[in-house]
Amino acid sequence: MRELRVAKSAGFCFGVSRSVKMAEEMLAAEANCYSLGELIHNDDVVQHLRSEGLTVADGPEQIPQGASVIIRSHGVSRAEFEAVQRTGATVYDATCPKVKRIHEIVAEASAEGRQPVIIGAADHPEVRAICGWCASPIVVNDAAQLAERIADGTIDCAKPLTVVIQTTQTQEKLLECQKIIKKECTNVKIFDTICNATQVRQTEASQIAAESDFMVVIGDRHSSNTGKLFDICKRQCENTVLIETAAELDLNKVSDAETIGVTAGASTPARIIKEVLDTMSEVKSGETNLEPSFE
């Protein structure tokens, strides 16, 4: 019998859900509403909020005096945060509390004269924002780059180090980096700042992918956690695809597969997941066990 398995953890995480709710509350209560950068990495949600009256500003200089401003779930740098406050804006801070905690860790490290080292993607908004809460941060993408930075002296292991990791990175990467750091450096504090919601999602996705012959990951291509889910699933199931909407689904693959797995990134709305599941159900003509748990 053909089977469709949907990850229970698919869809909005706590931080994304909180930020969208805050944006909706702001739009209902205030006029002249801005977000500093796109609120979350999902085009569909951002377009919806724009249609409700939200203007996306690229920087604090685009925010007029006295506006209402929501800070994105990925957070912003201290300089940007203070620049927004200087405009006299009513600030809705939707920075995910788990990201906020990283800001506090690196700020404290800086104040204590420790060298902040951030494991993550240097060009991701979350990592750029973290860098903006401490002095002279060093960002490394993975264990190989970490080893390089130690070897070329960019990271001075004689200095006290504080290490954090982008919330959406994998435990595997953290363990690889930990091994190198513990071998080379003596005075080091390592904080596991990977988000629990991310871990749960990744573990479940990996299990489902391992038991599927076609795996579908739904989410925005700009979303870091969606990209990680895709990589993890691909390792377990060669036949894994990443789609943003139901329209991108290859229906031939759906009808050929015996066991299909589905998961979705933390910024993927339930509505899009449902559209994908409905499309699959139609192709499978009711042959599936379709019990999404997020509705």
Among 23, 33, 49, 195, binds ligand F3S (CB under 6 A): 195
Assess 134 for contact with ligand F3S (CB under 6 A). no
Residue of the chain from 2, 8, 14, 24 that contacts ligand F3S (CB under 6 A): 14
For the chain, the distance separating the N- and C-terminal CA atoms, rounded to the nearest angstrom, is: 25
Sole binder of ligand F3S in the list 266, 272, 276, 277 (CB under 6 A): 266
- 4 vs 102, beta carbon nearer ligand F3S: 102
Can you tell me which of 68, 73, 162, 268 binds ligand F3S, judged by CB under 6 A? Answer: 73
Compare residues 71 and 249 and give the one whose CB is closer to ligand F3S. 71
Distances (CA, A) of 168 to 28, 119, 193, 241, 274: 31, 11, 9, 19, 24
Instruction: Determine if 118 is a binding residue for ligand F3S (CB under 6 A).
Output: no
**Which residues, in sequence order, are bridge partners of residue 5?**
261
Q: Is 244 a catalytic residue?
A: no
Residue 133's alpha-carbon distances to 77, 109, 262, in angstroms, are: 6, 10, 37
- For position 16 contacting ligand F3S by CB under 6 A, the verdict is yes
**Per the residue annotation, which of 38, 80, 126, 204 is the catalytic one?**
126
| 3-11, 91-99, 230-238, 287-295 -> range binding ligand F3S (CB under 6 A) | 91-99
* Two structure tokens written together for 2: 């053909």
Taking each helix axis from N to C end, the angle separating 196-210 and 224-236, rounded to the nearest 10 degrees, works out to 30
| Cβ closest to ligand F3S, residue 20 vs residue 276 | 20
Q: Is 232 near ligand F3S (CB under 6 A)?
A: no
Stretch in the footprint of ligand F3S (CB under 6 A) among 117-125, 191-199, 235-243, 282-290: 191-199
* Binding residues with ligand F3S: total (CB under 6 A): 14
Regarding 197 and contact with ligand F3S (CB under 6 A), the answer is yes
Task: Return the residue matching tokens 């599936």.
Answer: 288
| Residue whose CB is less far from ligand F3S, 162 or 268 | 268
CA–CA separation, 202 and 112 (whole Å): 34
Kindly state whether residue 99 participates in binding ligand F3S, applying the rule CB under 6 A.
yes
- Show which residues are catalytic: 126
Q: Which residues bind ligand F3S (CB under 6 A)?
A: 13-16, 73, 96, 98-99, 167, 195, 197-198, 225, 266
